[in-house]
Structure 1
């Protein structure tokens, strides 16, 4: 019996006969009902990675379903076949054309009218795995819908394998190959069902009478705005992602507030006309009440005036308007309000209420938009939340490798001749074929230079794509407004496939039908990236998703791509890296949107992330001042955590502690005393990360009540649903009295403990207590930055917040999370911190635990005697080597091979990832054997190898990430 058959037998018994049977749980039957992360999308992508052939037999397939699997299908090295049908005429002709573009997949059309199967069969080296149930190949069925699909595995000789093969064979006998002729005939005779795509803009919710009413999100915004007005405030800023209906919301607010006269200010006339029409529709008043102030039109006396900033601020126009002429003034795209024209207008007008609208109010020039609106933000919905609320169409992003010639890839320094070379144009067109829509494209291509945009447009217009000649036009800031409007109209009318541009379409342009965005440039900033992405997210009839094709070269700022896509502003490289890894497992974000990278593009981003300097004082100062703009006071660490900005641990620990950083940045005038600095540095470095809440909980109680008995502390831990055993409590004591730390660390922290224990009662240590009590109590947040007491309480509350929200509350190691050696010593309740002497692993007799630390890809200069061949053989097995000069009889080896104490395995990819390791879980040793390895000058050294079997398999995406070479990709 093979290893596979043995494992399959145990897993089958576990799944069908007795769940108490010990098995690997890799091949056991599993019901997949789309409970994240166990979705059909995840299951299919996972099986494609490990299969050599596949067959999908599904009645219904959507373009968005293909988009979710596109990168996985392109990366698939084997061959596949898809059997589908024209059942109920559900499938779009365009979807069939896209299937024909998959080079290694054959597509067949079943001829029976009642074809309704839903099965996915994968043939791998050892057997067959099938997913059979209720999911078609549509985005909702793969991710969202409550589906039932059974995953099961069989050996090639199993009867069910023969049944599956026979069923597929019978379907193929009743099928014909998909051809363009068949698609044309289907297209001509199709009686399409009513589509699920809305035929109206969904943000325009109407009542039975046909009147536009507020949707759920708009209701919340209007309630908050009314509350602000009723409080007597005169200004407010609404933050709403591009495409979420800011103008409709402003019109609804106008209807609610009933102002006598309204002024709506924009920066472009084409935006003005659209806004005016939407107000007419919402307010249901005669059109002649809605005036324009733009160009030569000066309709100043209308109840509702719509003006461009350029025309309105002309001296001859503005002096004709009384400062209090308008009760309500609305400024669109108000992040532009730092410009002198806007400031002049706002200094002049005195409305009863000033309302600002913006998708991205953050600025880089130091101007504070929030202050302009008295720090009042009644409503905020960013891109991720808007996607989750289905206010925008989902997007499918593909990060693809840019063109390489003579081992040189497109970069920030590439010459124009390289950017528009014949080879690169061919590469662009081929990528559009692979990733783009097969037809009916309405696309926007962002280039790096004006010359590049014009020349690429000329060259692309001589290229064939999917059997048709491409039609493109270039637009830059040199083109007139009328030229821009005419070109956009041609795109919307289907006369063009793409507009190539540089920056003029980052914002302020509305092309609802836009369904494809191509980025042929490096990412300048996460804000600009989000603005460009937002161009295509507006809902429109017959548009169910946006495709984004991002050509990733050797750009210095590649690391900004995951920051923008995942909304991770933490400056924590580990966090950003983890999001990229987790993305491979989860498969979607913000609903059914997805992010995909080809292997080389992903390697380039990770390499850029390693090089990036995210933790400089300049960057931290910018983060602090941006949030200060929002809050009207210097933020505390808890504010950074609540607003999901820079990671409090990263910003506080980089320069000893947060107060010391603020002083060094000259943001506060008073520095902490030396003793205060030592205490704050200790709390920051050891407890702020929240990897265990126990120390923080004890300190919080002692700061409140002065003392606490051991019994009371144990009861507190129990009430907080976290560990309260003797070993953990003793470990907490050693941490807070500094017995755990090395002498060097104790000296670094000033040698003063945080607590003392008398009998069975805890007290604050006198020095810490005196420093805390002598610091003035802070009642206003703007005074907290120079108060030791405020900083201590801030660290404690932020650490507890992090502990809860990161899943660390139980005080135990969490599989998949990252830990330093010191974290592990603490959480495993070691008597002392031995992080500096672990040397790969350590059998700790005090705690009876053995953590093993593996650096998976060793550096090239590692010595022969420490260059161990540790390797993940599969997601559940690490082949591991002991230290050299060890035998099967060595005491430390016997402790591991006998499994006499728990073994905890930690792995990092390489030394460039810093000091944190992924925790892969507990493992059991097996198959140990004596071997030899090379030493100095050809000497042979004894070493013991063994397999470490994890209790649960390593997540596939992490497994593949660790096994991918970390060498530079050019």
Structure 2
């Protein structure tokens, strides 16, 4: 039997632990490329091992996923009692485990009335509306079996407009039972690293309105499907992706994808396009040519964002701007699968999506929305005008080329600042300018320390100076901190330190700090340009409202 990765075993275990303690319907969040189908296969087998008569439906929405999930179950469990019910696949055979397309099965709830467990693949595609095909079908199944259990699997357990899939009066799912972070899986070697370059070529989207939470598709295609834009992007592709062999392009519509393929072929590049209007044979033939390497560029219009398994993809070309965070994450996910032919996947962003949404492992979803707020927050970032590297808004010196940003290039966005890399967990150390510093007391585990908060643009970085820690190997960091700040001896208490720091210019302050990614936070590593700067630092003796607001984010 195939051995699961540790996180896959944890995901399966979390499902049954959830059912042991809760009565709801859980969600499992697994990034694209992390083996979601295999995890579902193990869940199915374990359910039948626990209770052999269990009848299971695995529901999804597209033919490719039906076939993919069916094959994954047989690969994991060759003797599985399994069938397919799908008009698109051309098979309608019911079994103890039935992998089915919701479009083909929703009119036959009575036939599947003895179902005990339903798994929904790519469950984020279930609309938020009350009366959906999924909801009607699952509701009909519950009429036959009130104890029916439903498990959702997705890489994006939220909708951009309505937030978490577990919230709302119409929510099918009640809790997120397990969540694997894409940045962690990349660092651990399970997924392929992403590297990104912002395109110089940009479209004017000022006249493009919004429809159903995303750019109006007709207006968007009109703005993007211009030869000058496409050729400009291709000039950069020729430079940055010269060594890439499987390049997947995301376009705004059929005409845009077709034109991209035409202009790519005119350059002597082997290119083609696919869209949802093509027949099955034609579309599958083009995808097969792309996977084999006969076609180097494959442009698509809205169909290869889910259920498309091509691990050899080593470059993504984003020519489709989107306001949908879920769609953005799904697009980026096409490059996350590992393959022996590549060390990373290059993302060339000509759509401004990385600037718009931030790193894919730092998407923030509000559990409960206030009126007027967006359900999914984005990371404010900016582009270096010299080398086009994407950095977060507090950065004053570009880590890619040492370009210095002027003060006016550091706007406040009113949202949480974070790394602008496509994957925050892979972010390089960065140097940011210090606008102001706040010193205050901090107590944790009955140990007092000095809390130092550096305000850098719209972000605050924090470090703790362990002045009163009884362990000499810990307190030495406090000694070193004060020695580097004007060669002062380290005070014995935090109160003495605040008295010293309150004396204005007596203790100099850094102009820049270097911060490094440490888990989900940024850690202050180094300080530069330490000098006397009047009015930069303040002392707060007690926990103030400002401190609490910063702590709460």
Normalising by the smaller structure, the TM-score range is 0.5 to 0.7
Partner residue of 1:473? 272
Give the CA deviation at 1:399. Answer: 1.5
Matches within 5 A, 1:240-389: 240-258=30-48, 259=51, 260-285=54-79, 289-295=81-87, 297=90, 299-313=92-106, 315=107, 317-322=108-113, 325-338=114-127, 340-350=132-142, 352-366=148-162, 369-371=165-167, 372=171, 375-389=174-188
Partners of 1:396 and 1:583 in 2: CA distance? 20
Give yes or no for the alignment of 1:904 onto 2:509.
yes
Deviation at 1:543, TM superposition (A): 3.4
How far residue 559 of structure 1 moved from its aligned partner, in angstroms, is: 3.5
SS in 2 for 1:401: coil
Find the aligned partners of 2:340 and 2:527 in 1 and give their Cα distance: 47
Q: Does 1:610 align with 2:414?
A: no
What does residue 429 of structure 1 align with?
A: 234
Instruction: State whether structure 2 residue 351 is matched by structure 1 residue 562.
Output: no
Tell me how far apart the structure 2 counterparts of residues 271 and 550 of structure 1 sit (CA, whole Å).
Answer: 27
Question: Secondary structure of the residue that 1:377 maps to in structure 2?
Answer: strand
TM score, norm. by length of structure 1: 0.39
Judge conservation of contact 1:418–1:424 (CA < 8 Å) in 2: no
Return the structure number with greater strand share: 2
SS in 2 for 1:903: coil
Find 1:452's aligned residue among 238, 256, 271.
256
Residues 690 and 485 of structure 1: CA distance in aligned 2, closer, same or farther (over 3 Å): farther
Q: In 1, are the aligned partners of 2:253 and 2:302 still within 8 Å (CA)?
A: no
| Structure 1 residue 488, shift from structure 2 partner | 1.3
Q: Secondary structure at the match of 1:923?
A: coil
Could you tell me whether the CA contact under 8 Å between 1:399 and 1:597 is conserved in 2?
A: no
Q: For 1:741-779, what per-residue CA distance to the aligned partner results, in whole angstroms no more than 9, with x for missing partners?
A: xxxxxxxxxxxxxxxxxxxxxxxxxxxxxxxxxxxxxxx
What is the CA–CA distance in structure 2 between the aligned matches of 1:479 and 1:293, rounded to whole Å?
A: 23
Decide whether aligned partners of structure 1 residues 397 and 513 sit closer, same or farther in structure 2, where only a CA change above 3 A counts: same
Q: 1:279 to 1:367 in 2, by over 3 A?
A: same
Are residues 572 and 807 of structure 1, via their aligned partners in 2, closer, same or farther at CA, if it must alter by over 3 Å?
Answer: farther
Q: Contact between 2:440 and 2:498, CA under 8 Å: does it hold in 1?
A: no
Asked if the contact 1:234/1:352 (under 8 Å) is kept, the reply is no
The CA distance in 1 between the partners of 2:361 and 2:39, in whole Å, is 26
Richer in helix (by share): 1
| Distance in structure 1 (CA, Å) of the matches to 2:437 and 2:394 | 23
Shift of 1:362: 0.8
For the Cα contact (< 8 Å) 2:85–2:94, is it kept in 1?
no
The 3-state SS of whatever aligns with 2:71 is helix
Q: What per-residue deviation string (whole Å, max 9, x for no partner) do you get for residues 535-565 of structure 1?
A: 121123433321111126xx6x774253547
Report what 2:463 is aligned to: 807
* Separation in 1, partners of 2:196, 2:227: 26
Cα offset for 1:336? 2.0
- In structure 2, the gaps of 5 or more residues are 209-218, 365-375, 383-389, 417-423, 425-435, 453-458, 468-477, 483-493, 514-525, 534-553
Q: Secondary structure at the match of 2:303?
A: coil
Alpha carbons of 1:222 and 1:691: their partners in 2 closer, same or farther (altered >3 Å)?
farther
- 1:261/1:603 CA distance change after superposition, 3 Å: farther
Count of equivalent residues: 430
Partner of 1:238, secondary structure, is strand
Q: 1:367 to 1:516 in 2, by over 3 A?
A: closer
- Structure 1's unaligned 5+ residue stretches are 1-210, 404-408, 464-468, 586-595, 616-643, 645-688, 698-715, 729-801, 816-825, 832-844, 851-900, 909-917, 926-970
Maintained 8 Å contact 2:151/2:173: no
Identify which range, 516-525 or 246-255, moves more after superposition: 516-525
Flag the structure with larger Rg.
Answer: 1
User: In 2 relative to 1, CA 263–827 (structure 1 residues): closer, same or farther, beyond 3 Å?
Assistant: farther
Mapped partners of 1:584, 1:384: distance in 2: 22
Asked if 1:225 corresponds to 2:41, the answer is no
Asked if the contact 2:511–2:530 (Cα under 8 Å) also holds between the matched residues in 1, the reply is: no
Contact 2:271 2:298 in 1 (8 A): yes
2:531 aligned residue: 923
User: Does 2:447 match 1:720?
Assistant: yes
CA contact (8 A) 1:359 1:382 kept: no
Displacement of 1:374 in angstroms is 5.4
Distance 1:374 1:433, change over 3 A: closer
Change (3 A) 1:321 1:498: same
CA contact (8 A) 1:238 1:358 kept: yes
Task: Report SS of the residue matched to 2:119.
Answer: strand
Alignment of 1:687-706 (within 5 A): 694=441, 697=443
For residues 205-216 of structure 1, the aligned pairs below 5 Å read: 211-216=1-6
Distance 1:356 1:482 in 2: 31
Distance 1:495 1:245, change over 3 A: same
- SS of residue in 2 equivalent to 1:807: strand
User: CA–CA distance in 2 between the matches of 1:308 and 1:574?
Assistant: 40
Query: Which residue is equivalent to 1:531?
Result: 330
Change (3 A) 1:574 1:849: farther
User: What is the alpha-carbon distance in structure 1 between the residues aligned to residue 402 and residue 437 of structure 2?
Assistant: 35
Residue 443 of structure 1: CA displacement? 1.5
1:472 Cα offset (Å) = 1.6
- SS state at 2:294 partner: coil
1:848 aligns with 2:506: no
Which residue in 2 is equivalent to 1:26?
none
| Cα distance, 1:394 vs structure 2 | 1.4
Residue matched to 2:194? 395
Change beyond 3 A, Cα 1:537–1:847: closer
SS, match of residue 83 in structure 2? strand
RCO higher in structure (CA 8 A, sep ≥6):
2
Superposition map of 1:876-891 within 5 A: none
- Structure 1 counterpart SS, 2:530: strand
Compare 561-570 and 303-312 and name the one that shifted more. Answer: 561-570
Whole-Å separation in 1 of the counterparts to 2:277 and 2:153: 28
CA RMSD of aligned residues (A): 4.4
